[in-house]
A and B are shown apart, each in its own frame.
Chain A
Amino acid sequence: DAKTTQPPSMDCAEGRAANLPCNHSTISGNEYVYWYRQIHSQGPQYIIHGLKNNETNEMASLIITEDRKSSTLILPHATLRDTAVYYCIVRDTGANSKLTFGKGITLSVRP
């Protein structure tokens, strides 16, 4: 079972920041938080990941709370092309490291 909970959907206006929440209250010390997104009928696209510190790349920022029990993915200036299902995944760095997906959150960016 997925170790994360996300609201089923949210929307935001084009050009505004989209803040996507994720709860992972049972995360353990060696588990990373990963975010992927999936645009309709395509394979999942890697966005960002982090362990403890906040992370930023060209796509997004990841804010992880100090207790690591929740995180927020921030898309600073959402565009229509950001409409997708976003998956928050907690992943062990151990031997297998398979990804366990939940249902994700559907982000709809409106014009």
Chain B
Amino acid sequence: DTGVSQDPRHKITKRGQNVTFRCDPISEHNRLYWYRQTLGQGPEFLTYFQNEAQLEKSRLLSDRFSAERPKGSFSTLEIQRTEQGDSAMYLCASSLIGGGGTTQYFGPGTRLTVL
């Protein structure tokens, strides 16, 4: 059983650099979500896709953030000109729409440290 995978698991970068994270959802899951989690807090919603369409973006997703899901399978989250405040765990989740109570399954996360 292949769950949600994320790459890399850890990323250390210098302020001002660009970083890109990848998420591979569970096969055939048509919804994909990105969340961000800072120390001591619960995850916060950033954005989500249904197939390749990005349907909602949180106000947390500044102009420096961009997410794509070009073929409706894997997704990438890019952060341009990173700032120290971007240091966090970035989590990806996927679900299969249909019926009530669709469950989101999370990946292991990518921990970003901006120096």
Asked whether B101 lies within 8 Å of A93 as measured between CB atoms, the reply is yes
Question: Complex: how many Å from CA A101 to CA B43?
Answer: 6
| Stretch of B14-22, B65-73, B103-111 contacting A (4+ beta carbons < 8 Å) | B103-111
- Cβ of A102: which chain B residues have Cβ within 8 Å of it? 42
Please pick, from B45, B89, B111, the residue contacting A99 in the complex, using a CB distance under 8 A.
B45
A residues within 8 A CB of B35?
A: 99
What is the size, in residues, of chain B's interface with A at 8 Å between Cβ atoms?
Answer: 28
Structural contact, A99 and B104, CB atoms closer than 8 A: yes
The complex places the Cα of A43 from the Cα of B5 at a distance, in Å, of 10
Q: Does B91 contact A (CB under 8 A)?
A: yes
Q: How far is the CA of A44 from the CA of B41 in the complex (A)?
A: 12
Query: Are A32 and B101 interface neighbours, CB within 8 A?
Result: yes
Per the 8 Å Cβ criterion, residues 23-40 of B in contact with A are 31, 33, 35, 40
> In the bound complex, what is the Cα–Cα distance between A51 and B104 (angstroms)?
16
B56 nearest in chain A by CB position: A96
B102: interface (CB < 8 Å): yes
Is B74 interfacial (CB 8 A cutoff)?
A: no
**A103, B39: Cα distance in complex, Å:** 11
Main secondary structure of the interface of A (DSSP, over half): loop
Chain B residues with CB below 8 A from A101, complex form? 42-44
Give CA–CA (A51, B100) in the complex, Å: 10
Q: Which of A30, A44, A93, A96 contacts B48 (CB 8 A)?
A: A96
Is B106 a contact partner of A98 (Cβ separation < 8 A)?
Answer: no
A98–B33 touching, CB < 8 Å? yes
**B interface residues with partner A (beta carbon < 8 Å):** 4, 31, 33, 35, 40-45, 48, 55-56, 89, 91, 93, 95, 100-109, 111
- A interface vs B, CB < 8 Å? 2, 30, 32, 34, 36, 41-46, 49, 51, 85, 87, 91, 93, 95-104
Known: A101-B42, A103-B42. 16 other contacts (CB 8 A): A2-B42, A30-B100, A43-B4, A45-B106, A46-B104, A51-B101, A93-B101, A97-B31, A97-B95, A98-B33, A98-B45, A98-B48, A99-B33, A99-B35, A100-B45, A103-B40
